[in-house]
Structure 1
Amino acid sequence: MSGKIIQNNDYKDWSKFIFNKIKVAQTQAALKVNSEMLTLYWEIGNSIIEKQQENGWGSKVIDLLAADLIHNFPDSKGFSVRNLKYMKSFAEAYPQFPIVQVPLAQSETQFVQVALAQITWYHHISLLTKIKDITERAFYIAETAKNDWSRDVMLLQIQSNLYRRSGKALNNFEQTLPEYQSDLAKSIFKDPYHFDFLMLTTKVKELEIEMLLTNKITDFLLELGKGFAFVGRQYVIEVDNTDYKIDLLFYHTVLHAYVVIELKAGEFMPEYVSKLNFYISAVDDKIKTPFDAPTVGLLLCASKSNVKVEYAMRGLDKPLGVATYQLEQLVKENIDKLNEDYSAGQ
């Protein structure tokens, strides 16, 4: 009887529902604990600021407080002198706790609120140490929460200068997509892309890069960003009895659209855009369903002239972007070195 139940689709759907309920509950419990800890740390930091201002106390009061807290709460971690100083910095950085309010991109009158409890205390310590600009810090808070980055992954994204690369690919989205989808598509693509994880220092052929990217698909998807699902490499599509091969085909689960990526080992050439436009049209006709949004194209070149790109895209009615990529191994700090300044509470 139990075997029959296990094979039953109703049971499988029901058990999956229970599993998801448990996961949601666990996530909500973890978020609540994190929120309560951040609130406590902010209140301690804010109280230190107030007392120092009211009584003229110097930094020695933090040493005294740390010793008293450790004595009274010997089983609790996080009350070291270093961590208390981070609490003070945290309260100074976010006087509007539990949110940080920053202006929308290219706007001085519209603001967006980012919840601070979306990431852990240790993420916050790293951000406070590495990023001084509050708008940039809010960007990494939101991206870390959205992509569920560990602190190490977040630090690597900071090191790769993701903030200044995001949304920078040249594109025609405003002319070819509805406003809500245009803004989303713009935010998804960046320039340049960093393929340093391929560990290449010399020029190689396009097919070699494609092969290495698909061999290291986890790293590639991390660089592309959340939402990309890999469909295939050298994906064959037939047009008028002729087979054509798309370099890389993805589906984006947030855009709800196929994404055609063409990779070129050299400098941008105007004819590359025509070929990409052809592939977008073919995917729209041959693969896209009525439930999918218009297919989007991304051309990746080793280098480009922005003027040539703008001329090549002018008048096209298919949504596409053009960006560069870097193959060279970036000079990276060792993760252990990155973490030296952030080991609070020891």
Structure 2
Amino acid sequence: MENNNEHNIKKGHFDAFVHAVGSEIEQAQVRLITAANAQMLFHYWKMGNYILYHQNLHGWGGKIIKKLAQAIRFNYPEKKGYSERNLTYMCQFARLYPLNVLRSFIETDSILSVPNIQNITNEVLKLNSGQFTQELTAQIQSADNQSLEITQEVPAQFQNVEKTVATIYKIKIEDIEDLFLASPIARINWASHMVILNNPLPLGVRYWYMKQSVEMGWSSNVLKMQIESNLYDRQIKSNKVNNFTATLPAPQSDLANYLLKDPYIFDLAGAKEKADERDIEEQLVKHVTHYLLEMGNGFAFVARQKHFQIGDSDFFADLILYNIKLHAYVVVELKATPFKPEYAGQLNFYINVVDDKLRGENDNKTIGLLLCRGKDEVVAQYALAGYDQPIGISDYQLSKAVPENLKSALPSIEEVEEELTLFLDKDKNP
């Protein structure tokens, strides 16, 4: 019997040991992939700078990129990723992100280490203010002027891509790499960069989408969808209706305001043209992953049509979510009509109930989110006056524009529950 117990203990220790080793292997793979992606982006950025330099130096036109792509294909047929299209993107990549822009991104990162809606807005606006009017061409011309003093060294020096880039920016090669790898442009993949490059976004907005892609783990398809739905405008620029400043302490009020969007855009492919509240809700839950993506960072699904018995009456809250960043429950009420003042009273009631029935001692105040099919902002702001509970009011729009390949990749709530059940059963019966 003791031998069996000893065997079980040893087996338990060994299983934990194997699990830890497996976890390290998986993390190492992620780190290697991330490092490889950053090095590839650095290579593309250097290539873009090098091509732009020689275009300027020799007066070559755009056709040089086509000729270069053909030459690479002929001389290095095994090398992929150097098509005319990709080389053009490399040049655009280098032109849009010269070294002073990379430095500004790093500086902005340090300022925005704590999410604050005012800081985020101010810093992004600074990046849009035209402080980077010195384009790469001017820096290249400066490098040309400097090279005239060392004419005999120029041919050998500029056969090396890294030396060329270092000369352009008047900085050590290793310092350039350190700056590049420390900036947010090194943290998203090339496909996502191409999505951003294909959109005429101001510099600060490009920075914001990069940061969101890293934080949210967006694929390039999701990033494209978010740009097309004007997420930046809906989350940063819109004048949001809420009473968070009056009802929540800072910085939670800032974070809640930042996370709120107006309007929300939900894809309801398959819903009725005139969807009622129940139909909208069914569709929201059907593809829960996608809708949590639209809700924003850190939201987790808790319940829908959550039943509460209060006194002798039954009540059902539409949707209850939990936001990990806010450490708070979020009660969502969906209305298929424009905002009415009485809707705020109903939501306030549900917030009080969730605070009493679900909120734990480590949870912050429950937040209410009222989603309506339109609102008069003045009426909505008046309606919130006097409520002690934090409430936000946003419009929502129904869209059927989500790509089919993305929809098929999103599990239904039933599939999520089924997979979770199988996992738990497996865990109980190893």
Q: TM-score range by the shorter chain?
A: 0.7 to 0.9
Task: Check if 1:23 corresponds to 2:26.
Answer: yes
Aligned twin of 2:328: 257
Partner of 2:70: 67
Q: Which runs of 5+ in 2 are unaligned?
A: 109-118, 129-181, 407-430
Per mean C-alpha deviation after superposition, the further-off stretch among 122-131 and 194-203 is 194-203
Q: Is the 8 A contact 1:288 1:295 kept in 2?
A: yes
Offset of residue 319 of structure 1: 1.2
Aligned to 1:327, what secondary structure does the other structure show?
Answer: strand
Partner of 1:329: 400
One of 100, 105, 114 as aligned partner of 2:121: 105
Q: Under a length normalisation based on structure 1, what TM-score does the superposition of the two structures give? A: 0.86
Q: Distance between the aligned counterparts of 2:358 and 2:223, measured in 1?
A: 35
CA shift at 1:16, angstroms?
A: 4.3
More strand by share: 1
Amino acid at match of 2:277: E
Query: 1:219: Cα distance to partner?
Result: 2.3
- Higher normalized contact order (CA 8 Å, seq sep 6+, divided by chain length): 1
CA gap of 1:322–1:15, structure 2 versus 1, over 3 A, is: farther
Contact persistence 1:127–1:137 (CA under 8 A): yes
> CA offsets per residue over residues 121-144 of structure 1, 9 Å max, x none?
111112101233222222221111
Deviations 1:12-63 (A, max 9, x none): 6555443432332222111110111111111111111122222222223323
Letter in 2 for 1:139: W
Q: Does 1:139 align with 2:208?
A: yes
Shift of 1:100: 5.8
Whole-Å Cα distance in 1 between the matches of residues 126 and 226 of structure 2?
26
Distance in 2 (CA, whole Å) between partners of 1:129 and 1:109 is 21
Q: Which amino acid aligns with 2:227?
A: I
Match of 1:339 in 2: none
In structure 2, the CA distance between the partners of 1:110 and 1:291, relative to structure 1 (3 Å rule), is farther
CA contact (8 A) 1:263 1:300 kept: yes
1:219 and 2:290 correspond: yes
Match of 1:155 in 2: 224
Partners of 1:218 and 1:48 in 2: CA distance: 42
Where does 1:292-303 land on structure 2 (aligned, <5 Å)?
A: 292-303=363-374
In the alignment, which of 33, 36, 46 is matched to residue 43 of structure 1?
A: 46
Name the counterpart of 2:390. 319
Q: Which segment is superposed worse, 135-144 or 65-74?
A: 65-74
1:323/1:39 CA distance change after superposition, 3 Å? same
Please, which of 307, 325, 340 is the counterpart of residue 236 of structure 1?
Answer: 307
Mapped to 1, the partners of 2:284 and 2:403 lie a distance apart of: 23
Are the counterparts in 1 of residues 127 and 204 from structure 2 also a CA contact under 8 Å? no
Asked if the contact 1:300/1:322 (under 8 Å) is kept, the reply is yes
1:291 equivalent in alignment to 2:362: yes
More helix by share: 2
Q: Which range is displaced more, 279-288 or 321-330?
A: 321-330
Percent identical among aligned pairs is: 39
Counterpart Cα distance in 2 of 1:164 and 1:26 = 36
Coordinate RMSD, CA, aligned:
2.8
* CA distance, structure 2, for counterparts of residue 7 and residue 251 of structure 1: 37
Please identify the structure whose Cα radius of gyration is greater. 2
The answer on whether the counterparts of 2:375 and 2:395 sit within 8 Å (CA) in structure 1 is yes
Match of 1:260, SS?
Answer: strand
Q: Greater CA deviation, 195-204 or 108-117?
A: 108-117
CA displacement 1:275-295 (0-9 Å, x = unmatched): 111111221122111111111
Is contact 2:195-2:223 (8 Å) kept?
no
Residue 55 in structure 1 maps to residue 58 in structure 2: yes
Partners of 2:7 and 2:292 in 1: how far apart? Answer: 39
Structure 2 CA distance for partners of 1:290 and 1:227, relative to 1, 3 Å: same
User: How far has the Cα of 1:73 moved from its partner?
Assistant: 2.5
For residues 318 and 10 of structure 2, the distance between their equivalents in structure 1, rounded to whole angstroms, comes to 42
Q: CA deviation at 1:119?
A: 0.8
- Rounded Cα–Cα distance in structure 2 between residues aligned with 1:274 and 1:216: 29
Number of residues paired by the alignment? 334
Supply the AA of the counterpart residue of 1:131.
Answer: P
Please give the alpha-carbon distance, in whole angstroms, between the structure 1 residues aligned to 2:77 and 2:346: 67
Query: Structure 2: which amino acid aligns with 1:190?
Result: K
Name 1:176's counterpart in structure 2: 247
CA contact (8 A) 1:247 1:263 kept: yes
1:84 to 82, 87, 98: 87
Query: Are residues 1:123 and 2:139 paired?
Result: no
